[in-house]
Chain A
Amino acid sequence: MKTIQDFAVSRRGFFALTASGIGAAALSSRASAAGTVETSARIVVIGAGAAGTALSNRLAQRLSGATITVVDPRREHLYQPGLSLVAAGLRPADYVVSRTADWLDRNVALVEEAAAAIDPVAKVVTTAGGKTLPYDFLVLAPGLVLDYGAIEGFSPEMVGRDGIGALYGGPDHAARTWQAASKFAGEGGVGLFTRPATEMKCAGAPLKHTFLIEDIASRGIGRGKFEMHYVAPQPVLFSVPIVSEKVRMLFSERGIATHHGMTLAAIDAGRKIATFTKAEKGGTSRVEMPYDYLHVIPPQRAPEVIRQSGLSWTDKWTDQGWAAVDQKTLRHVAYPEIFALGDVAGVPKGKTAASVKWQVPMVEDHLVASIQGREGSLVYDGYTSCPLITRVGRAMLVEFDYHNNLVPSFPGLIAPLEELWISWLMKEVVLKATYNAMLRGKA
């Protein structure tokens, strides 16, 4: 991602900063903009999450005369990296909630409706309320949907009761997950921690929750009074082999049993039995496991509007529907005026806020270049970061790319595979601040 142009942009930013005086530059979000580009382009952004908001604000700072419209029905903006902390009782539910409208630049129009249809040929987005939004450029950043219905006997209302947790559904679900998890940490029993077979946002989250609840239970009721089982369909604990091995060692140290090739299929909440389908040679079998605490992560898929508009991959992830984009530019393979960012992008890695931080300037570069009739030069190489919490107070700052290489931001200083207090501070203190700065288009 470090290219000549990258350097040029930051150098310009630096000169702008110096020229306008440090104090003034700090207060003005436009001081370090790469320059105002005149255009009458109509840009529609579907989704006001981390990616949609950050990109819209950067475009508003960069472009003059453009019509930027963000389409999102949800009034609350969710700081999703905080959900793991809420689900471990380390932060209140409102820690992750803010107002969508408060983040957007005043030159960005917000349509508080869901996108109902996309016609990529006519270049029009239709909202649930019947508004039609023609576009010259379209950015898909709607996030993903949690497929609760795929697990038999499970519905979102069950979260927090009968020992069931599921932290992905939002602040309320994360808080209710903590109710169930804290009961387990205080009373002991058998804890099952699952992961879906689909692609998922923040693949570190299932591990973090497992580590945190084990740590809290060890400090609470004490070792020997509870059992921990991590149950997942994947043959490894993490997609990056070197990280997977490290987690395997930590799980073994902490007494967390691992079961591979097992996908959560059904829950009997009354009897507290979880049923898994187990992959075996020549077929599958069903395995029942009793639990006192069960952490559920439902399968994750692209929203219906993406899947029905013909923008998904047709030869991979066909059950999930992620947008068919080039993995280096996130540009749609069939429609060059369409980009996909964040969760919905059909790329091997990158469903985290840290990935979005790297994806947004790259898409901005290519989109603005298209407006100017030239080619963009930045490339996204799959950067993803995961402050993998292993205890309350410790984490591993794992950063990697498409090639499963570790790409540490602070080589020689913060070791990626060591459990460090400083990495915990990154997650607990620095991350939200960086995230908010990113939303404003400043980082």
Chain B
Amino acid sequence: MQEMTLETMIAVLEEIFGTGLFWSMVAAAALVTAAYLYVLVRDRAMSMRKFLFAQLSMPFGAVAAVLFVLQVTHSSLADIGGPVDAALLLGVAVAGAIGTAILVYTAQSLVRRP
């Protein structure tokens, strides 16, 4: 890699997912984040009950994210060859877990007001 500018990164991500899918995913992520912030501001408090459900969903999100990534890259857990691989896999799991938690919390809040 010669120069890693933001523009190159975006070009790379567009090529991986296709321009349409990449920007839809960005839009979806932005939308969920905005909805999450909206319910937080609206309710003026975190609901611990909803947060509990969100937390319970996290392991499923983590596993699903890892399985998805392994599936689309023709890989298996046996291919983890070094610390950087473990860190990357962990990163995928954490991203999946947090994404799922936010999604589940937001969905509950939108469906049922406190």
Contact = CB atoms under 8 A, between A and B. Distances in A.
Are A and B part of the same complex? yes
B7 A442 contact: yes
A443 B82 contact: no
Contacts of B10: 26
Given A432-B15, A436-B15, A421 B7 contact: no
B80 interface: yes
Nearest to A410: B1
Contacts of B12: 430, 433-434, 437, 443
Interface string A391-432: 111100000000000000110011100111110110011101
Contacts of A429: 16, 73
A371 interface: no
Contacts of A31: 7
> For the side of the interface on A, what is the size category?
35 or more
B35 to A, nearest CB: 21
- By secondary structure, the B interface counts as helix
Given A13-B5, A442-B8, A420 B85 contact: yes
A268 to B, nearest CB: 36
Contacts of B16: 429-430, 433
B24 interface: no
Contacts of B88: 421-422, 425
Contact of A393 (B2, B13, B74): B74
Given A392-B74, A393-B75, A443-B12, A420 B5 contact: no
Contacts of A17: 5-7
B2 A420 contact: no
A25 interface: yes
Interface string B45-77: 000000000000000000000000000011110
Contacts of B41: none
A437 B8 contact: yes
A392 B79 CA distance: 8
Interface in A357-409: 357-358, 361, 391-394, 409
A25 B12 CA distance: 15
Given A392-B74, A433-B16, A422 B7 contact: no
Contacts of B78: 393
A393 B79 contact: yes
A287 interface: no
A25 B7 contact: yes
A385 B105 CA distance: 45
A409 B6 contact: no
Interface string A137-174: 00000000000000000000000000000000000000
19 contacts: A10-B3, A17-B5, A22-B6, A32-B5, A391-B79, A409-B1, A413-B84, A415-B84, A418-B81, A418-B82, A420-B82, A421-B75, A421-B80, A422-B84, A425-B73, A428-B73, A430-B16, A433-B11, A434-B8
Given A394-B81, A434-B15, A443-B2, 19 more contacts: A10-B3, A13-B3, A13-B7, A14-B5, A17-B7, A90-B74, A357-B2, A391-B79, A392-B74, A410-B1, A421-B81, A421-B88, A422-B85, A424-B73, A428-B74, A433-B13, A433-B15, A442-B11, A443-B11
